[in-house]
Structure 1
């Protein structure tokens, strides 16, 4: 007799997802392989997700919902599953990002997670630890779905020019990443400025930081350490960082000139030509 791993649906969002997937599949009278054939995934993958050994994706969830008539249950659950897989210290930050109406990011050394491509994110996350790298990368990319919601936040990013030159995972990955930044060139809700080397001493010399603004709650400043998050609503800190951000915006290149610099670096350093 085949042993069936019975999940405790209260153990975690991932366990709950797997429990519900199995419950709906069995109610439909389908084997894992039969369901996999219907949604164009392997039965093995269905089984791994049912037993909480593999993370589901949004696409997988949508296909299963359609096939089993769940009323969109799994598509709603997958967001909770992904958020629960974030490092514990970062989960509060992800919740803040999901609620924010405006996010203002200054980044000294690399493209921020909300704008990273899969290959770039994988290179960042795998720098010292390749454990479960595919799943960890998928979790990071899932956060970007906040831009797909009905009322997406305003996202303003100031990148220090060094981020364009820090070559992660080779020229192909960098071409793709810089091209991804350029894809937002005409999106009024995602604005990217570059702070050039020639700006000299600037208001962000002490490091990267984010400011999150909300419809009905006080603004929050977020800074990050090694394996730790530091959000604060202290008014003095918020006012100081808001002033710093204003000065950084003034010192940075315009949106148009920033796009031109990104394009030039992509062409000249990473050997790509835009049509």
Structure 2
């Protein structure tokens, strides 16, 4: 993030925190491993800042992660209009149902897997890839809050086994992460075995979120972005599709054993 009102706010807070700490630009620069002139350029908007710099600045200035929090808010505001309603629903959900026919769902992706998947779009710059990875990782914080939502995911066995030699190391880490997640009381991972060749879910990925008040919102992904669904009849259709997909998947414990078997087959 380099320009705009949010970036200016972050620079202003950085400058305020540094001065409150009684540090010159040179002194602060030494603590975050930059020159004083580099710090000056960042505060003046002549150089960009990144997440790693702000994280280090928060640590040095003992700011309670203020700068990183402001960055997350700015990134959220910078999301496309079609995604914002879903981000609100996801953040406030008490229950999340997620199915994806070709990928590990984003809420359960490890950073290296997410980066590899996002980088497959060769139209994205390296900076944009890293920004999207960071946003995806930040969204996973919903699963670590004091009262997290119940997350139920359904994935395909073929997704677990899609790993050539160059991708197998990342996939092994990803499945290990899925196994760790599946042991948490509020997360269930279910696998549709490969012998189930057709079912309604193969038409595309979707997620459903239910709020504390019982309202449902759905989200459909596509090549150009996604669509939030809140009409009663459309939500009801997605719930019916979810029930159909979920019925094809293995129970929780059998799914865990299948994931372990996939990893064992590689070694």
Task: Give the TM-score range, shorter chain.
Answer: 0.7 to 0.9
Aligned-residue CA RMSD (Å):
2.7
Runs of 5+ in structure 2 lacking a partner?
A: none
Which of 134, 154, 166 pairs up with 2:130? 134
Would you say the 8 A contact 1:107–1:158 is kept in 2? yes
Give the Cα–Cα distance (whole angstroms) in 1 for the partners of residues 169 and 203 of structure 2. 31
Which gives a bigger RCO, structure 1 or 2 (Cα 8 Å, sep 6+)?
A: 2
CA shift in 2, pair 1:247/1:177, >3 Å? same
Would you say the 8 A contact 2:51–2:68 is kept in 1? no
Q: Secondary structure at the match of 2:202?
A: coil
State the match for 1:222 in structure 2: 219
State the match for 1:4 in structure 2: none
CA shift in 2, pair 1:166/1:71, >3 Å? closer
2:16 matched to 1:19? Answer: no
Would you say the 8 A contact 2:94–2:149 is kept in 1? yes
Runs of 5+ in structure 1 lacking a partner?
A: 1-6
Equivalences for 1:97-176 in 2 at 5 Å? 97-129=90-122, 130-131=124-125, 132=127, 133-167=129-163, 170-176=167-173
Q: How many residues align?
A: 258
State the match for 1:54 in structure 2: 49
Would you say the 8 A contact 1:110–1:166 is kept in 2? no
Q: TM-score, normalised by structure 1?
A: 0.82
Would you say the 8 A contact 2:190–2:255 is kept in 1? yes
Give the Cα–Cα distance (whole angstroms) in 2 for the partners of residues 101 and 67 of structure 1. 36
Deviation at 1:190, TM superposition (A): 1.1
Deviation at 1:47, TM superposition (A): 6.4
Q: TM-score, normalised by structure 2?
A: 0.84
Q: Give per-residue Cα distances to partners, 1:29-65, cap 9 Å, x unaligned.
A: 3244533544xx42268668654723325x954x644
